[in-house]
Amino acid sequence: MATLTDEELFKLIEAARSVQKHSYSPYSDFSVGAAVLTRSGQVYSGTNVETAHYKGICAEASALSAMISAGERKVRAVTIIAQGDMPAPPCGDCRQRLREFSNDETVVYVLNADGSVAKNYTVDELLPDSFGPDHLKSRSTEET
């Protein structure tokens, strides 16, 4: 599991808290913020965006999209904050998205509404025995 400095974790928590304020969630009234720390040290954040046809984008997917749009591909750590009394771990779709850009060292911090860490997970703990890019590579590629 990746070890973050106190400064890195604080920066990641603050990025998720800050972007959560921009949530567009008029239908669920459930605002979520997420931030990803890349291996290069950059932080990208995103919030949930809902639409009238009840399809939207989760905060984690939004943050990953910002990361990808900036040309980054490797996640070191993630923070997720949601409103309410219970911390909100990523949904199944977001777990798969996080798996795509993570490795065994990536840590996901699920925060309480006040920004304190409720629990942290590895991606493998969130999505055990997952299917990923390595399953799609040919045997000859794996052996070289």
CB 74 within 8 A of CB 39: yes
- Is 142 designated active site? no
* Tokens linked to 59: 């905060």
Residue carrying structure tokens 């911090």: 109
Helix boundaries (H) for 73-130: 92-100, 123-126
The tally of CA atoms less than 13 A away on the side-chain side of residue 109 is 30
List 60, 72, 105, 142, catalytic entry? 60
Beta strand pairing status for 32-38 and 75-82?
A: antiparallel
Residues belonging to the active site: 60
